[in-house]
Each structure stands twice: as C-alpha cells, then as structure tokens.
Amino acid sequence: MDLGELLPDLIKGFTHFTFGNAVMISAALILIYLAVFKEIEPVLLLPIGFGCLLANIPLAGMTASEGMTKVLYDAGIKTELFPLLIFVGVGAMIDFSPLLAQPRMVLLGAAGQFGIFGTLILAILLGFPLNQAASIGVIGAIDGPTSIFVATKLAPELLAPIAVAAYSYMSLIPIIQPPLMKLLTTKKSA
C-alpha cells in the first residue's frame, strides 16, 4: 500500500478526532504512566488505561460489532473466562513468605472466613433468603469485586447496596486503621 492510498484514511481519522477523544486518551496515558513508572496498582491501572486508549482511537473499529473489544467480550467476559484468569493470576502473585515465616498469620485468613460465615448466619437470622444471605455474607470477607460478582449471580436485586457496603470499608480505612495500629502495637515495636 503506498502513501497515496493511506493518506485519505489518516486524514479521515484526524477529522473524526474530538476533544472527548483527546481527554480520554490523556486519561489513559496518565493511568498507564502511573501503572508502569510509579507502580501504583499496575494490575488494575494498566489494563484500564490500555483499554481506554484503544477505545478512543477514532475509526479504529475497536467497539464495532466485529471489533477487537467484541471479540474479547465474546471470548472472555461472556464465557466468564477472564474473571477466572484474574483470580488465578492474583492468587499466583501472592507472596507466601510472610505466612511461612510467621504461621500464626493464618489467623488473618481464618478471620476472613469467619467474616463470611458470620455475616451469612446473621443475614439468615435477620430473615433474608439463602441466595441473598450468601451475597451479603461475601461482604464479610472484605472483598469488593467478589461481593459484586456473587451478587450479580445470586441476588442481582441487591447489587447496588452490596456494592456500596463492600467498598465502604475502603473509605473508612484512614479513620479506623490509626487507632487500631496504636492499640495493637507497642511504642518499642513502632
């Protein structure tokens, strides 16, 4: 293909480039920069930034019915393969050395499991049906994405309140954590 044939397509791409595309591509580049160079949540920010970048290239066909995002949706989201790969990948990234060095750390994992079952039992005692109680119970593990996933499968009518509850703890961490740290550590260990 010579430049004469390519030039009209390039010009067409630039004429369809909007201010919104520029803003979103800038946001995508910032997310990619934070993920790669600052190493801030790279597992989240890099794919989000890359997807945002691809989706905002004018006339690239990424979001068309036969575009790349449709292919990815059909291959991974619709078949529920991507959530499985994400959980396996996150599990593989966990560093077990603290657990091996201090086996008593297994109590933290047990606390998460107790949170799930304690919340499940409490929801059943409060009169929720089992599917809703299970969705509410996952909040007890302090795991937002899993709470949302389970709620979409078992109790979609509770998705909004479960999402709010599951992510509320994140906003409360700066308030709750300092007094707990002071309570659980000595001046010598700090």
Looking at the structure, tell me whether residues 116 and 62 fall in a common domain: no
Q: Which residue shows structure tokens 């004429």?
A: 15
Q: Which of 76, 98, 127 is the last residue of a domain?
A: 76
Are residues 116 and 72 part of one domain? no
- Direct distance between the N- and C-terminal alpha carbons of the chain, in angstroms, rounded to an integer: 67
Judge whether 69 lies within some domain: yes
Q: Which of 50-54, 94-98, 128-132, 136-140 has the highest mean pLDDT?
A: 128-132
Number of domains in the chain: 2
Looking at the structure, do residues 63 and 119 belong to the same domain, yes or no? no
Decide which of 135 and 59 is more confident. 135
**Is there a domain that residue 84 lies in?**
no
pLDDT category at 128 given cuts 50, 70, 90 is very high
Whole-angstrom Cα distance, residue 9 to residue 86?
Answer: 37
Q: Does the structure show a pLDDT above 90 at 131? A: yes
Dihedral (Cα; 155, 149, 122, 131), 10-degree rounding: 30
In a domain, 20, yes or no: yes
In a domain, 182, yes or no: no
Instruction: Give alpha helix (H) positions in the chain.
Output: 3-15, 19-36, 42-55, 68-72, 81-93, 97-101, 106-125, 130-139, 144-154, 159-184
Q: What is the mean pLDDT of residues 1-27?
A: 82
Which structural domain, as residue segments, surrounds residue 120?
A: 112-176
CA-CA distance, 181 to 190, in Å (whole number)? 9
Q: Write down the mean pLDDT value for the chain.
A: 82
Q: What per-residue confidence (pLDDT) applies to 63?
A: 67
Residues 24 and 56: beta-carbon distance below 8 Å = yes
Name the more confident of 173 and 110.
Answer: 110
Q: How confident is the model over 144-180, as pLDDT tens digits?
A: 788 888 999 999 999 988 888 877 766 666 777 788 8
- Residue 149, domain member (yes or no): yes
The CA distance from 4 to 37, in Å, is 39
Of the pLDDT bands very low, low, confident and very high (cuts 50, 70, 90), residue 24 is very high
pLDDT of residue 152: 92
Q: In angstroms, how far apart are the furthest CA atoms of the chain?
A: 74
Better-predicted residue by pLDDT, 69 or 93: 69
- Residue 28: what pLDDT? 93
Work out the average pLDDT over 76-91.
78
Q: What is the CA radius of gyration of the chain?
A: 23
* Structural domain contains residue 83: no
From the list 66, 40, 63, the residue with the least C-alpha distance to 53 is 63
Q: Name which residue leads in pLDDT, 163 or 121.
A: 121
91 in a structural domain: no
Q: Which of 27, 61, 76 is the last residue of a domain?
A: 76
